[in-house]
Amino acid sequence: MNQILEVAVPGGPYALAAGPDRATWVTLVRSGQIARVTDSGELTVYDVAPDSLPSIITTGADGALWFTRAGDDRIGRITTGGVLSEIELASGAAPFGITAGPGGTLWFTAMNAGTIGRIDLDGTVTEVAAPGGGPSMIAAGPDGALWFTMNQKNAIGRLEPSGALRVREVPTPRSGPVGIAATHDDAVWFTEFLAEKLGRIPTDEAIQELDLPGKPHAVVADPSGGVWVSLWGADQIARVGADGGATVIDLPPGSEPHGMAIAADGALWVALEAGYVWRLPVG
């Protein structure tokens, strides 16, 4: 690891997504803004709303960035040119996780409402499932289904686009599952924040668990295999291989690492809620 780029981004960087413009887009949860950061460190900030709490962000099939607004119950959309729009949800929904799904659709979790919603290409919002349990982050799986963590129910949900739902309990009680990601080994990985473990599901097989101290929060697939995990409680990030071996990288004390994303060039970006984003060349 060399040539680490650190960019000061005030406002509480929380989650990131690689944009189609080869920039990285960041939610600023404390200031109610969205930031765009280039590989050279050029920063542009766009105002959303003071109490919107922009949370998770993803790239849609339309080439825009879509993000959840947990504070004011909306789904936000921003073009690579900085044009903002929004979709209003039911009051108290508290949308949090969001991901691109099959056929150009977007899927999101509503934590307080306990539902999973779909946004079609024309902007129509449909409630597809209501599993309860505080659905948190969501990811498109290698099997064409949507996988999501159920933070309050200590479970992982699998939702087919047709609406068929399966819920699996996490083996460790009160584990606090949060982050989730599909990987290149046809598995789904998720973090267990309270239990300090990393979970792995080889699609329809049994859930596997690995001890990973430091309160793991977000997880993202590494293109070369395995996953990267942010260890919020330890100010570290870790790379975990498919064999379970982990390599840990220390971050500055008090940095509060949250979201991560892999850029088009394979670099790892990390959001540090203390007010920075890091770009780490990998490989």
Q: H/E element holding 178?
A: strand 177-182
pLDDT tens for 137-196 read: 999 999 999 999 999 999 999 999 999 999 999 999 999 999 999 987 789 999 999 999
**Residue 1 confidence (pLDDT):** 45
Give the domain range for residue 101.
5-280
pLDDT above 70 for 2: no
Higher pLDDT, 261 or 1: 261
Tally of domains within the chain: 1
Cα-based distances in Å from 114 to 1, 148, 152, 283: 41, 12, 10, 39
pLDDT band at 206 (very low <50, low <70, confident <90, very high): confident
Q: Which residue has the higher pLDDT, 1 or 41?
A: 41
CATH code of the domain containing 264: 2.130.10.10
CB burial readout 72-86, b (16+ within 10 A) else e: bbbbbbbebeeeeeb
Of residues 252, 198, 189, the one with CA closest to residue 220: 189
- The answer to whether the CB of 87 falls within 8 A of the CB of 74 is yes
H/E/C letters for each residue in 184-216? CCCCEEEEECCCCEEEEECCCCCCEEEECCCCE
Which two tokens mark 147? 């996988």
pLDDT of residue 186: 86
The mean pLDDT of 33-51, rounded to a whole number, is 97
* Cα–Cα distance for residue pair 74/92, rounded to 1 Å: 10
Q: Which residue has the tokens 């087919």?
A: 160
Decide if pLDDT at 232 tops 80.
yes
Instruction: Answer yes or no: is pLDDT of 204 > 80.
Output: no
Q: 69-78, pLDDT tens digit by residue?
A: 999 999 999 9
Q: Report how far residue 226's alpha carbon sits from residue 282's, in angstroms, rounded to the nearest whole number.
A: 13
- Decide: residue 99, CB within 10 A, 0-12 exposed, 13-18 middle, 19+ buried: buried
pLDDT-derived band at 283 (thresholds 50, 70, 90) equals: low
Q: Whole-angstrom Cα distance, residue 43 to residue 82?
A: 13
Helix or strand or coil: residue 232?
Answer: helix
Of the given ranges (54-68, 148-162, 193-207), which has the lowest mean pLDDT?
Answer: 193-207
Terminal-residue alpha carbon distance, the chain: 8
- Which of 107, 45, 108, 51 has its CA nearest to residue 78? 45
Chain mean pLDDT for the chain: 95
Tell me which residues are annotated as active site. 258
| 51: pLDDT strictly greater than 90 | yes
User: Per-residue confidence at 225, pLDDT binned at 50, 70, 90?
Assistant: confident
What value does the mean pLDDT take over residues 223-230? 93
Task: Reply yes or no on whether the pLDDT at 11 is more than 90.
Answer: yes
Compute the average pLDDT of residues 33-45.
Answer: 97
Task: Return the closest-CA partner of residue 28 out of 10, 44, 41.
Answer: 10
Whole-number CA gyration radius for the chain:
17
